[in-house]
C-alpha cells in the first residue's frame, strides 16, 4: 500500500520526496528483519519526505554489483563494505571523507574502530559490526587427550604441541581428526597467515604502505610455521578441507580452528550441545600478541544527489540503540565501547572473549587493489603449504607481483 502511495505521489509530483538507496552487505535473516521492519520505518517516520530503498546484497556478489553500478553511474547513496575496501574507493574518488560529518556524532565511543576506514589521513567509514579471528577449541576433546581445557595454548609452540596431541590418523596415515584445522586456500588462508605474520613481529608493508615487507624474515618464519602445521607426516591439518554445511567442530573433523563470531552463532543455533563444549583462546603470541580484526561499515557515495539525507541515514542506523540491535541479531562485535556492557554481550561469554581480545587487534592494510594483492598472496601461500615452493621462494614471488600493484 505504501509503495502504491509513494508511486502515486511521485506521479502527480506533489511530494518533494527524496529517495535514497542503501545497500547492506550480507543477507542474515535477523539483520534483514531488523532493518526492514524497525530501522527503516523509524527513520522514514523521523524524516518525512525521505524514502529509503534498502537492498541486501550477499557478500560474494557485492563487488560485482558495485563495479557494474559504478560503471553505469547508478551506485547506491550509502553502501556497506569491509574496511579493507576503503583505499580503493577513496583513491578513485568514489566515496566522501566523513570527517566533517563525524563532528555530529559521539566519535569517542567508536574509539579506534573509526581508524579502520582511514585512508591518507581521512576517515571514510562509520563501522557497524566487527569480526575477529581467534582460536576456538573443543573442551571435551582437550580433556579426552589429557590437556587442561581451562588452559588453552597461548604461543605457537604450545598450540602446535596441543594440536599434535589432538590429531588422530587412520590406518593409512590420513588425518581423521585435525588437531588444528586450517583452510588451505583463499581469503581464510591469507587471514590466518596475516595473524601469524603480526605475531612474528612482521607486517605486510611499511607504515606508508609503499614498501613490501611480508617477504622479510618474520614473514618467512610465519609461513614456515604454517608449512609445519600442514606437513603430511607430522602436521595437524589436512590440505584442502572443502567447505561443508556443517562446521568441522561439530562433525569432529577438527578439535581446534580459527573462527569468527558468525561461525559460532551458526553452531549455537543448530548444535547447541556442541556449542556448550566450545571455548576461545586468547590471541596467540610469538614475539607479539596479535590477531586479525576487521570492521564493516557504511560508506557515502561521492555521486549521491542527496548527501544530507544519506548521511542522516548513516547517522540514524549507527545510533547506539540501532547498533546494539544489529549486533545482537547475529552475535557480532559491536563497534561502540559503550555496548561492551550490553545485555547480549554479557549473556555470551564467547563473544566477551572476542571483545576482550580486541586490544590485540590488527587490521588488513588499507591500500588500493588490496583484493588482487590478497589473491596473489593466497595463491603463493597455497603453493608453499602444498610443498610446491619454499616459504622464501613463495613470498618472494608474491612480493614481486604485489609490488606492481602498489600505487606509485
Check residue 148 and give left, alpha or beta (phi > 0: left; psi -120 to 50: alpha).
Answer: beta
Q: Please report how close the Cβ of residue 155 comes to another protein at its closest, in angstroms.
A: 29
- Which 166-205 positions form the footprint of another protein (CB under 8 A)? 172, 174, 184-186
Q: Please report how close the Cβ of residue 123 comes to another protein at its closest, in angstroms.
A: 20
- Which 302-331 positions form the footprint of another protein (CB under 8 A)? 330
- C-alpha distances (whole Å) from 327 to each of 11, 60, 79, 351 are 39, 21, 18, 11
Interface with another protein (CB under 8 A), residue from 43, 79, 89, 124: 89
Q: Please report how close the Cβ of residue 382 comes to another protein at its closest, in angstroms.
A: 6
299, with CB counted inside 10 A (0-12, 13-18, 19+), is buried
Region binding another protein by CB under 8 A among candidate stretches 200-208, 212-220, 235-243, 281-289: 235-243
Interface with another protein (CB under 8 A), residue from 67, 157, 234, 343: 67
Set of cell numbers at residue 374: 590478497
Distance CA 366, CA 298 (A): 16
Interface with another protein (CB under 8 A), residue from 369, 393, 396, 406: 369
Residue 254 · residue 246 · CB < 8 Å: no
- Which 47-66 positions form the footprint of another protein (CB under 8 A)? 53-56, 58-61, 63-66
Binding flag, residue 40, another protein (CB under 8 A): no
Rounded to 5 degrees, what angle do the CA atoms 202, 335, 307 make? 110
Interface with another protein (CB under 8 A), residue from 68, 120, 211, 217: 68
- Which 90-149 positions form the footprint of another protein (CB under 8 A)? 92-94
Q: Please report how close the Cβ of residue 29 comes to another protein at its closest, in angstroms.
A: 7
The residue (of 146 and 245) whose beta carbon lies closer to another protein is 245
Set of cell numbers at residue 310: 544519506
Binding flag, residue 371, another protein (CB under 8 A): yes
Set of cell numbers at residue 18: 527524496
The residue (of 114 and 229) whose beta carbon lies closer to another protein is 229
Binding flag, residue 226, another protein (CB under 8 A): no
Pseudo-torsion of CA 231, 236, 239, 244, nearest 10°?
A: 180
DSSP annotation string for 301-327: BTT-S-HHHHHHHHHHHTSHHHHHHHH
Binding flag, residue 388, another protein (CB under 8 A): yes
The residue (of 123 and 253) whose beta carbon lies closer to another protein is 253
Binding flag, residue 78, another protein (CB under 8 A): no
The residue (of 49 and 240) whose beta carbon lies closer to another protein is 240
Interface with another protein (CB under 8 A), residue from 6, 19, 69, 115: 69
Distance CA 39, CA 297 (A): 16
Distance CA 334, CA 98 (A): 20
The residue (of 149 and 252) whose beta carbon lies closer to another protein is 252
Q: Please report how close the Cβ of residue 43 comes to another protein at its closest, in angstroms.
A: 17
Set of cell numbers at residue 135: 582460536
- Angle at which helices 261-270 and 320-330 pack, to 10 degrees? 60
Distance CA 52, CA 399 (A): 44
Rounded to 5 degrees, what angle do the CA atoms 276, 281, 261 make? 60
Binding flag, residue 404, another protein (CB under 8 A): no
Interface with another protein (CB under 8 A), residue from 8, 29, 155, 347: 29
Distance CA 383, CA 151 (A): 34
Distance CA 374, CA 372 (A): 5
Region binding another protein by CB under 8 A among candidate stretches 199-207, 238-246, 306-314, 358-366: 238-246
User: Footprint of another protein on this chain (CB under 8 A)?
Assistant: 21, 26-29, 53-56, 58-61, 63-74, 88-89, 92-94, 172, 174, 184-186, 238-246, 250-253, 260, 262-263, 265-266, 269-271, 274, 330, 369, 371-372, 375, 379, 382-383, 386, 388
Amino acid at each position: 500500500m505504501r509503495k502504491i502511495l509513494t508511486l502515486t505521489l511521485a506521479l502527480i509530483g506533489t511530494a518533494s520526496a527524496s529517495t535514497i538507496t542503501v545497500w547492506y552487505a550480507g543477507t542474515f535473516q535477523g539483520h534483514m528483519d531488523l532493518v526492514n521492519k524497525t530501522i527503516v520505518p523509524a527513520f522514514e517516520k523521523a524524516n518525512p519526505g525521505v524514502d529509503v530503498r534498502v537492498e541486501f546484497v550477499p557478500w560474494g556478489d557485492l563487488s560485482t554489483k558495485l563495479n557494474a553500478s559504478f560503471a553505469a553511474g547508478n551506485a547506491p547513496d550509502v553502501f556497506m563494505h569491509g574496511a579493507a575496501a576503503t583505499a580503493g574507493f577513496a583513491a578513485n574518488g568514489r566515496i566522501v571523507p566523513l570527517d566533517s560529518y563525524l563532528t555530529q556524532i559521539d566519535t569517542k565511543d567508536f574509539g579506534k574502530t573509526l581508524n579502520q576506514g582511514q585512508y591518507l589521513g581521512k576517515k571514510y567509514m562509520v563501522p557497524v559490526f566487527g569480526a575477529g579471528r581467534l582460536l576456538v577449541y573443543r573442551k571435551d576433546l582437550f580433556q579426552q587427550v589429557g590437556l587442561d581445557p581451562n588452559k588453552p595454548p597461548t604461543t605457537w609452540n604450545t598450540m602446535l604441541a596441543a594440536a599434535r596431541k589432538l590429531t588422530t590418523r587412520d590406518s593409512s596415515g590420513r588425518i581423521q581428526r585435525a588437531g588444528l584445522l586450517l583452510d588451505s586456500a583463499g581469503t581464510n588462508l591469507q587471514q590466518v597467515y596475516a595473524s601469524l605474520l603480526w605475531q612474528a613481529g612482521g607486517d605486510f608493508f611499511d607504515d606508508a604502505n609503499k614498501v613490501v615487507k611480508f617477504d622479510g624474515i618474520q614473514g618467512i618464519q610465519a609461513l614456515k610455521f604454517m608449512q609445519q602445521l600442514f606437513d603430511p607426516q607430522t602436521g595437524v591439518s589436512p590440505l584442502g578441507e572443502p567447505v561443508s554445511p556443517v562446521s568441522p567442530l561439530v562433525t569432529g573433523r577438527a578439535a581446534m580452528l580459527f573462527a569468527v563470531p558468525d561461525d559460532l552463532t551458526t553452531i549455537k543455533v543448530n548444535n547447541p550441545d556442541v556449542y556448550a563444549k566450545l571455548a576461545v583462546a586468547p590471541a596467540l603470541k610469538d614475539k607479539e600478541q596479535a590477531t586479525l580484526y576487521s570492521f564493516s561499515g557504511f560508506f557515502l557515495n561521492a555521486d549521491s544527489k542527496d548527501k544530507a539525507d544519506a548521511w542522516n541515514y548513516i547517522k540514524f542506523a549507527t545510533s547506539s540503540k540501532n547498533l546494539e540491535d544489529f549486533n545482537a541479531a547475529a552475535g557480532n562485535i559491536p563497534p561502540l565501547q559503550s555496548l561492551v556492557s550490553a545485555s547480549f554481550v554479557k549473556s555470551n561469554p564467547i563473544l566477551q572473549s572476542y571483545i576482550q581480545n580486541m586490544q590485540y587487534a590488527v587490521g588488513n592494510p588499507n591500500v588500493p587493489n588490496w583484493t588482487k594483492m590478497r589473491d596473489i598472496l593466497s595463491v603463493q601461500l597455497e603453493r608453499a603449504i602444498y610443498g610446491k615452493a619454499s616459504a622464501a621462494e613463495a613470498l618472494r614471488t608474491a612480493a614481486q607481483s604485489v609490488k606492481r600493484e602498489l600505487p606509485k
